[in-house]
Amino acid sequence: MPTRRSTLLLASTTLLPVAGCAGLRPPSGAADGARQVREAETAFAATMAARDLQAFGRHIAEDAVFINGGQPLRGKAAILAHWGRFFSTPEAPFSWRPEIVEIAAGGTLGYTEGPVTTSAGRAGSRFYSTWQRQPDGSWRVVFDNGYRVCG
């Protein structure tokens, strides 16, 4: 005959995995937030194809940091000054698209990651961006980084 202690132990070990799964559910509104961040990243990437540095800048927070290979570009003005060279030719030197999009439980931070491809269509790098929801509901990049990949 089971004791009260063994019954409680059995119940708690049975319910623990179920309780753990409850924490894995996306936060309320996460799908909508992730959709918004994906759309923001896609629009951000489209500015490169359109050769529109001003539109590119509208996606960047004033206090953003682009890691830039360990030589951080701090602030929107520094980022635009550096990135202007990528907009100076008629053809975009590269493009990117989000493959992974996540949203934090609080609904104000988003993450995007994906391939960066050369103008010839070869994947040469991956980008990693952190987005922050602004008071007006728009999303702006606050951190950005990229790394070359083997291939």
Domain assignment present for 74: yes
Q: Is 43 left (phi over 0), alpha (psi -120 to 50) or beta?
A: alpha
Residue 40 domain boundaries: 29-148
Instruction: Flag whether 20 is in a domain.
Output: no
Which CATH number fits the domain that encloses residue 104? 3.10.450.50
CA distance 84 to 54: 10
Digitized pLDDT (tens) for each residue of the chain, 151 residues in all? 555 554 444 444 444 444 444 444 445 567 899 999 999 999 999 999 999 999 999 999 999 999 999 999 999 999 999 999 999 999 999 999 999 999 999 999 999 999 999 999 998 899 999 999 999 999 999 999 999 887 5
CA neighbor of 49 nearest in space, from 91, 3, 1? 91
CA distances from 93 to 53, 70, 77, 116, 123 (A): 14, 21, 21, 10, 12
